[in-house]
Amino acid sequence: MDYSWLIIIITTLCISFFLRKSNNQKNNKKHPPGPGPFDFSVIGSLLWGVTNIELILRDLKAKYGPLFNLRIGIISRPSIFVASHSLAYTALVQQGVVFSDRPKAAQTNVIIHSSRINISSAPYGPLWRLLRRNLTSAILHPSRTKSFSKARSRALSVLVQQLHYHSDSAKENVIRLIDHFQYATIYLLVLMCFGDKIDETQVKRIKDVQRRWIVSVGRFINLSFLPRWLEKIIFRSRWKELIQLQLEQERIFIPLIEARKKAKSSNNLNHHEEEEVMAYVDTLLNLELPKEKRKINHGEIVSLCSEFLTAGTDTTSTSLQWIMANLVKYPSIQEKLYQEISEVVVHRGNPKPKGSVIDQGVVKEEDLEKMPYLKAVILEGLRRHPPGHFLQPHMVREEVELNGYVIPKDATVNFMIAEMGWDPYVWEDPLDFKPDRFLLADGSDTEEFDITGSREIKMIPFSAGRRICPAYRLAMLHLEYFVANLIWHFEWTTADGDNVDLSEKLEFTVTMKNPLCARIRPRINQLELSPNSCYVI
């Protein structure tokens, strides 16, 4: 029997132990508590891939408190976990500059993100500021967001028509929803990214390659636990799959980038033509990197477009499924929401005898502001089922103190946002779905709730501080718009004898272990319209 692997592991453990012991003797500073080096040094790395790590972290929180240290891997930087609202507020908001960096990228992450040319994983500094400012000013500014209303109408039309078609053809009108939600959200984001000249064939190709990215990204990141030369021997087929997937993504995206570049040049020459809505890729074509003093290349544009699509698609479709699952599970909440929507839509403006019925076929964006219960439903969905249970890891730029403990420079800090949203000391009956908790006492309006965490943190599904998701307002708009129209167009019920299973599984986001299947029936008010009139925006 070959004992070489056992010898290597034992030797590395001994080196790790003595290195830590030596460091502890040199440094008497009080670090966050946590398990010893032998508790998680090797076994923890293995468990990360095969066990529900969240259950282990909850046990550690119960044992060590809301701030604890866990080393994942044989020799690694400290990995700090924060599960307290007040400590998260101190770190992310009050000491935001120190906590705003990202851990050094794994080799696979460098390949996936073109040497970290993206917003989410870029180090805190000039490059990150440039990329974020470009996105927020050119795409996410309220005036720009409004310019994409036609894209939202198209995506809604596709979704509603698909649901009508599949509910008619499905057995007893029971259909699986997540595929439709994913397609509608990727359809919308593709139009925002590459412009409204994209056809459905191109959307489907983009959806397919992006879904494979999302499903495979965890396996690719896990390649980085070993030295690169060793990974390429042991995981040769997986490395090959990573490179092939990247090349396929470029084959699909680059022609779209070139077409957009050509179209913009043509429009500049023909000023009399109607100006198109600016797409995200348009803003990237002339973007210049601050240090290199050069424009970003095609591979880097592909990385940024992929980030844009992934960040806005899977999180939104996952949240949409969780919210609709609870509305199916609790019909009284669904009915209350429908009544609010009906009041706003039916009494919109001064109805005319026949002309106004088309206007009542869809919930418009301006209607959403008059629906406090809708907003409460969305907030409760994000609290109870955040699409990510942890924020993307942060890294401290310098040694800092938090809650009396020293966080060493370059330590990775993880924020357990699901635990914060389920804290019984902050939320009454935290595991129940109760939208009314976000309403004023008389139910007339939503309580002024700070979703950004800038005043205090109670829940942070979009993070907080400098690294807050720049598109959180857009995400809220998309969720409100889709949920309102899904409830307005259809009545949602469970299949006979079936209950809605709210158990979870981890993919790219934390999604439903058993995807939502529901019976949907067009509302009577929609049946009064001609077959396609409800899609007219």
Annotation: binding site for heme: 469
Helix, strand, coil tally for the chain in percent (to 5): 55, 10, 35
What's 290's DSSP letter? T
Structure tokens given for 62: 């119960």
Structure tokens given for 9: 């592991």
Q: How far apart are CA 180 and CA 188, in angstroms?
A: 12
Q: How far apart are CA 465 and CA 293, in angstroms?
A: 29
DSSP string, 368-381: GGG-HHHHHHHHHH
List the Cα angle 236/241/243 in 5-degree steps.
95
Beta pairing class for 67-69 and 400-402: unpaired
Q: How far apart are CA 414 and CA 394, in angstroms?
A: 6
From the number of C-beta atoms within 10 Å of its C-beta (0-12, 13-18, 19+), residue 151 rates as: buried
**41 in helix, strand or coil?**
coil
Q: How far apart are CA 279 and CA 285, in angstroms?
A: 11
From the number of C-beta atoms within 10 Å of its C-beta (0-12, 13-18, 19+), residue 457 rates as: buried
Binding site residues, as ranges?
469
**294 in helix, strand or coil?**
coil
